[in-house]
Amino acid sequence: MFFTLISFFVAIGILVTFHELGHYCAARLCGVRILRFSIGFGKVLAKYTDNHQTEWVLSLIPLGGYIKMQEGSSDSKEDDPCSSFTSQSVYRRFFIVSAGPISNFIFAVMLCTILNLSGIQEPAAILADPPISTIAYKSGFQKGDVIQSINEKSIFSWKDADQELSKLLFSKKIIKVSVKDCYGFSRNINIDTDLYNINPSENNIAQKNGFLLSAGKSFIHSVKPNDIADIAGLRKGDLITSISSVHYPDPASFTKIIQDNIGLPIEIGIDRRGETIHVVLIPINQIINQVEVGHIGVEIETRFPMITTRYSFLQSINHALTYTSNTAFSYLKMIGKMVTGKVSVNNIGGPLTIASHAGQTARFGLSNYISYLAFISISLGVLNLLPIPMLDGGYLFYYLIEILRGYPVSDKFMMITQRLGLFILIIITSLALFNDFSRILFY
């Protein structure tokens, strides 16, 4: 618990600092006087005043931060009236406010670039069995094929293969793919994309056309104490080698067999540090979504064959920019689907979820923690750009109206919309906290 809290507070502190530094730097560039730069809220624990008379403050509650700019005219005769935020042109105000979220994206790109340069663990480009009638199946790809190059461009990881194929499948040209099968024999496969009609606007183009990542191997992630699996002797970290007559099942197959065999004996084979063990257990019934299914009290995870990939400086920046933009747009799409009801609001996570994930990734190593920081930084950037009053995006919305009309929105309009924004934020925060506690109590 202590380690999780420390990981969470460090993450929030770093992300908030970079966000507020964006506002700070933009304001300083525009000549705006900064009165206070605070990390956290509430009682001041420590502070320092610099030569520009800016207070740098560390406060008691580390769940956010803020910068306080000079808003109107100052009582001090030494202060320049033009150094206030409100005296700036609408374009400068837009720049200052937007700099916070933009700095979150820049920070994510920096983190991802560092990871790409130092080397990241990624799934190897190993194919699963392609579904019949897909392009991959018709072209002759087989389960276990390792993609080595595409159009003579070396492929190092699954991400490389997926991105390259998604880019080329609708090109109406021949794609030359070099693979090595599961027995170590190499062969070349030509994909004639002119034979197929592929919509370039679709998501996951390569995967939808049969190029699927090998399922990897299933391991027991956790065992519920005193439940069926625990009593039978299954332990965290066990490799599942078989269940019934299925060898090396993926998590979906394993779960389906358990759920479909209430009250019936099932033999499960596991590998525990090189030792082969077979256990027989009987799933008990459990009600999920008003449906009775089998249950033994385990969580399954998939571990893929991994490789360490290092990129050049320019490649690292390119991959970082691609990841940041793709993640931001995916986050926006998810929000849109929540608004339209296509995705459940149960997916909204709050501070407890963030803390839990921060602790988990930190335990897995520094690179995982940095990767999670990059993801959260992107999420914060997108969230702050939403046109909700009280957020940066709400103020940017006001400034856009001012630019279009030629004069600011009225105080009354701002007051009404900010009350609405506060109400929306309270609803979102309540949902996030409810989901957090629900996960703790019921999962």
pLDDT, residue 110, reads 96
**Closest to 69 in 3D by CA, of 41, 29, 102, 12:** 29
- Using CA atoms of 4, 6, 12, 15 in order, give the dihedral in degrees to the nearest 10: -110
Rounded-to-integer distance, Cα 212 and Cα 127, Å: 6
User: How far, in whole angstroms, is CA 332 from its chain's centroid?
Assistant: 12
Q: Phi and psi dihedrals of 128, rounded to 5? A: -85, 175
Whole-model pTM: value is 0.71
Q: Mean pLDDT, 10 residues at a time, over the chain (443 residues)?
A: 80 90 94 90 89 89 85 58 84 95 96 90 88 91 92 88 87 91 90 81 80 87 91 92 87 89 92 92 85 89 83 90 89 83 75 78 81 91 90 93 91 91 87 76 57
Structure tokens of 169? 């499948």
Inter-residue contact 442 to 358 (CB < 8 Å) = no
Rounded-to-integer distance, Cα 125 and Cα 146, Å: 6
Inter-residue contact 103 to 22 (CB < 8 Å) = yes
User: How far, in whole angstroms, is CA 265 from its chain's centroid?
Assistant: 40
Instruction: Give the DSSP H/E element, type plus range, for residue 49.
Output: strand 34-49
User: How far, in whole angstroms, is CA 92 from its chain's centroid?
Assistant: 32
pLDDT, residue 439, reads 67
Q: How are beta strands 120-123 and 306-309 bridged, if at all?
A: antiparallel
pLDDT, residue 73, reads 58
Which part of the chain is CATH 2.30.42.10? 123-208, 217-303
Structure tokens of 333? 């799409």
Angle at the Cα of 273 (from 275 to 283), degrees rounded to 5?
A: 70
Which member of 20, 78, 122, 164 is catalytic?
A: 20
Inter-residue contact 99 to 23 (CB < 8 Å) = yes
Question: Is residue 152 among the annotated active site residues?
Answer: no
Q: Which of the four CATH numbers 2.30.42.10, 2.40.128.260, 3.40.50.2300, 1.20.1250.20 does domain 123-208 have?
A: 2.30.42.10
Rounded-to-integer distance, Cα 375 and Cα 379, Å: 6
pLDDT, residue 283, reads 92
Q: Does domain 217-303 have CATH number 2.30.42.10?
A: yes
Rounded-to-integer distance, Cα 147 and Cα 157, Å: 9
**Closest to 100 in 3D by CA, of 20, 154, 161, 3:** 20
